[in-house]
A and B are shown apart, each in its own frame.
Chain A
Amino acid sequence: MSPSRLYTASVMPPLPLSSFNVSSNFCTEENISECILYINQELSSLCFPPIFQNSDSIRDLDAVVALNNIHDLLQLHRRAVGMMEELEVEQLKSSSDLHYQHLTNSRLKDQLELSKKENMRLHERERQLETNLKTLQNCLKDTKEEVQRLQGIIASRAIQYNHDIKRREREHNRVKERLNQLLIAKKENKQGMEVLNYVGRSDGRRCLWKTGKTESRHEGDMYKTLLSEFDNRQRELMVENIELKKVLQQMKREMVGVLNSKKMSQKEEKQSNDMDQTNSDDDELLKGHPEMSCDHAREKLTNSIRQQWRKLKHHVERLDSQASMVQDEDSEEVISKQLHEEEMERLKLEIQQCKEFIETQQQLLQQQLNTPCDEETAAVLNDSYMLEEKERLKEEWKVFEEQRKNFEMERRNFTEAAIRLGHERKCFEDDRAMWLKHQFLNTPFADQMKPQSRMADEFSKHSGREEKLISISGKVSKSHL
């Protein structure tokens, strides 16, 4: 039983037969009738006949039935235990099978892993071998091509050699023939020159004897030629060198200028300041001796140029990126590329139109200049045009003169009117003064206040009116003048 306990934890342990204390637990003196009822129920549920009749008294027990029931129950129990044991055995078996299966499963998994790895390794090896094969095939192809090429070269060389050999053989044969001819021939044609008279040298000088002096002179001439050539070349190279150096320095200066004119950050400024320092050093170095420049100075110059160029390049790249970013904005300073191009197109079109216009004008002018067929008619025509013009001008002049006269007269009239008006005003002023004086002297002193005020009112009214009159007349006179 103990081994089964290890494996069958879920199964409840069987009831031990020895520990039967039913009577103490289940039935007591008091609950006999309930027990009996309960037992009846249980037995009826298990299809046993009941041990008690319902209508009888409580303690009337059917012993036979009870014993039968007990026997049957015991049989049942035994059967159940037997079945349970069987089941336990079955369970043990199946669990050990399962365990075995688990073990084999894990073993097979490991094997599978191993074989997969082996497979991959073999794949890898196969791939490597394939690439090897490919490269070797390529090598083979290249080598074959090389071999073919070399074979072609060998073939062409062989053809050349053969051709050459044949040519030489033919020449050799001809030489042999000629030699035979010469040996056979009796008359030998001698070489010689017949000339009527010897001519002078082209430069007019006499021919010189060959002496050691002439030889050395020739040598000297030859070396002179070579030397002069070297000198020329050296001079040319020097000139070129100086030019290039000047160009480089100018480039450097311009680059520095361009870079400094833009607004740069502090760091860049500092860098440029340092660069300026070195630039000034360079300039000092090279200023004094433009022809003699040691390697050091040359290197410095080229290095500084390289650095400046790099900076300029960065700057230009930055500007480019800025321009592309700013394209959508309406920035006054930066014109987008598109606008710029449009502007260019427009300007070009304008230029084209202007050119065409100028051309047509030129043509017309040419026509005009060309049309007068002969001078007389041209002169007459010109005169007639002039005459017409003159007539017209004369008339206009007359009209202008008349108008001017009219204007003069009017002006004179107006000035006279103004003078008259002035006089009249003066008289009027005098009269007024007189009138006022009379009024003042004639009025009694009783009504001083009212008449005075009335006088004052009248006075003011008059003066106001007079002022108006004066101002109006002033205006009139002004306009006429």
Chain B
Amino acid sequence: MNFSEVFKQSNQLCKVSPDGKYLATCVQYRLVVRDFNSLQIAHLYTCLDPVMHMEWSSDSLFILCAMYKRGLVQVWSLEQPDWHCKIDEGSIGLVSSRWSPDGRHVLNTTEFNLRVTVWSLCTKAVSYIKYPKACQKGVDFTADGRYMALAERRECKDYISVFVCDDWHLLRHFESETQDLAGLEWSPNCCVLAVWDNCLEYKLLLYSLDGRLLSSYSAYEWSLGIKSVAWSPSSQFLAVGSYDEKVRILNHITWKKITEFEHPATIINTKAVVFKEVEKRPVVGSEDLSIHQLTVDNSLFSTQSKYEITQLPAQVPVIKPDPDRANPKIGISALAFSADNRFLATKNDNMPQSLWVWDMQRLSLLAVLEQTAPVRCFVWDPRRPRLALCTGNTKVYLWSPAGCVSVNVPVEGSFQVLSLFWHCSGSSLVLLSKEHICLCYVEAGASCGHT
């Protein structure tokens, strides 16, 4: 694995263009666009304020930079560097800004979620959408970019509006049977909308594209409910992670639960492999402590680590959450399916150092990765069943069905990997630390044997 040099960024704003050719990073006021292969600066733009949110348009021709404090959105063009566009929300303020799927409209959510303004880059038309709901995930676009679902709240009731992104025509508007809608997500085949209630009530509703209620699912009453939801890429499964530390998988034919994945503190399933990260400190001899060595060779201080396979039954470290706090750190907070549908990675908040990988073909636990620090971020390779994760230290970890490996980021000084994402081709990883980024080139066919 090769690593590139380190570049600056701020606010964790670093995105690869959808076509994979460019890498855009924001450094305070500036927007730097580099060619992905050569990492040479292709374009440089300057915004009026430190950028809080940056997004590529779907056709990779425009970049949106939002500055929430000033209520400004600036759009830059890659084809015409002198083209400029500035959207000022004025006194009404700005809390979020995003592209529409066609890459020609900008949706701005004003402060206090008063309304959503749809600005068009093609025409002078401006649309307003009233009463948007401020929740975990109130807006979602279908994968083909044709429809948008928006959660609304009027008169203490939840509604869902489906818009046609072509001309922002309101296709359907129906009341949702939730008490307090927390999120909605389209299925990858664009035909089913999953809507879930907030944690006080476990309720998952499935609506068809034309607004009919297909099914409703509730696993239990009273205790804290749904924490996270994920569709499988084929739309066959819907994984629901809840506060009771279980993931329930629903199937797309009957919308009933086919299995539930538990996250027990003691793993006794003999088919699962438990990888435990073990740090090995290098032995330092007295003659090695020269100043030269200390400054140049950072491997002296960064510890190497490798994975060891633990014998079953294995204990997973559990951290009991504070019972007096809201949104307790317990339950499945993150779910991700692999691109080929075969694997599901989950993270249980009261076992923050462990990552669980499930085999979707056998519907059983495949591997548990126990790290030395809480897992901060994990993402699947968009092309193959390979999982990259980071825990905030100087290493990046890769898991694949062949095994897992831990790689130290060989950067001068220490590079604490806070988050990461894959390039769309799956051939490289972009690692983000607090103020820097680094690219990691991974061989496409590399099988990771555990060291």
Contacts and interface: CB of A to CB of B under 8 A. Distances in A.
Interface of A: 150, 152-153, 155-157, 159-164, 171, 174-175, 178, 182, 185, 188-203, 207-208, 210, 214-215, 218-219, 221-223, 225-226, 229, 233, 237
B39 interface: no
Interface stretch (B8-16, B162-170, B258-266): B162-170
B412 interface: no
Interface string B180-196: 00000000011100000
Interface string B211-255: 000000000001110000000000000000000000000000100
Interface of B: 58-59, 61, 71, 75, 77, 82-93, 102-104, 111-112, 117, 119, 121-126, 146-147, 164, 166-167, 169, 171, 189-191, 199-200, 208-210, 222-224, 253, 323-328
B91 A185 contact: yes
Name the 7 nearest CB pairs between A and B, nearest first.
A163-B326, A189-B90, A195-B85, A191-B90, A229-B191, A189-B91, A193-B87
A199 B122 CA distance: 5
B175 to A, nearest CB: 19
Contact of B324 (A150, A159, A189, A210): A159
B166 A222 contact: no
30 contacts: A153-B223, A156-B223, A159-B324, A159-B325, A160-B224, A160-B326, A178-B111, A182-B91, A188-B90, A190-B90, A191-B92, A193-B87, A194-B84, A194-B88, A195-B85, A196-B84, A197-B83, A198-B122, A198-B123, A199-B77, A202-B103, A203-B102, A207-B123, A207-B167, A208-B166, A218-B166, A218-B171, A222-B210, A225-B146, A226-B208
A152 B119 CA distance: 48
Contacts of A175: 112
A156 B91 contact: no
B323 A174 contact: no
Interface centre among A159, A175, A218, A221 (most CB of B within 10 A): A218
A320 B130 CA distance: 74
Contacts of A157: 200, 222, 224
A237 B190 CA distance: 19
Contacts of B61: 202
Contacts of B58: 202
Nearest to B324: A159
A194 B59 CA distance: 22
Contact of B88 (A189, A197, A222, A226): A189
B169 A214 contact: yes
B171 A219 contact: yes
Contacts of B166: 208, 218
Contacts of A233: 253
Given A192-B88, A194-B86, A195-B85, A222 B222 contact: no
Interface of A is mostly: helix
A164 B135 CA distance: 12
Contacts of B222: 150, 153, 157
Given A190-B90, A191-B92, 14 more contacts: A160-B326, A162-B326, A163-B326, A174-B112, A189-B71, A191-B88, A191-B89, A197-B83, A199-B77, A199-B122, A208-B167, A214-B169, A226-B208, A226-B209
Contact of B210 (A174, A207, A226, A237): A226
A221 B146 CA distance: 10
Contacts of A221: 146, 164
Contacts of A160: 199-200, 224, 326-327
Contacts of B89: 191
Contacts of A229: 189-191
Contact of A223 (B84, B125, B199, B210): B210
A101 to B, nearest CB: 75
Contacts of A208: 166-167
Given A175-B112, A197-B83, A219-B171, A202 B327 contact: no
A197 B265 CA distance: 60
B112 A171 contact: yes
Interface centre among B88, B93, B102 (most CB of A within 10 A): B88
B388 to A, nearest CB: 31
Contacts of A153: 222-223
B112 A210 contact: no
A139 B58 CA distance: 62
A157 B200 CA distance: 7
Contacts of B169: 210, 214-215, 218
Contacts of A162: 326
A236 to B, nearest CB: 10
Contact of A156 (B59, B92, B328): B328
A251 B126 CA distance: 64
Given A191-B117, A202-B102, A207-B122, A222 B171 contact: yes
Nearest to B58: A202
A461 to B, nearest CB: 101
Contacts of A189: 71, 88, 90-91
Given A193-B86, A226-B208, A201 B102 contact: yes
A218 B102 contact: no
Contacts of A188: 90-91
Nearest to B243: A156
A200 B80 CA distance: 13
A218 B324 contact: no
Nearest to B62: A199
A194 B88 CA distance: 8
B381 to A, nearest CB: 26
Contacts of A222: 147, 164, 171, 209-210
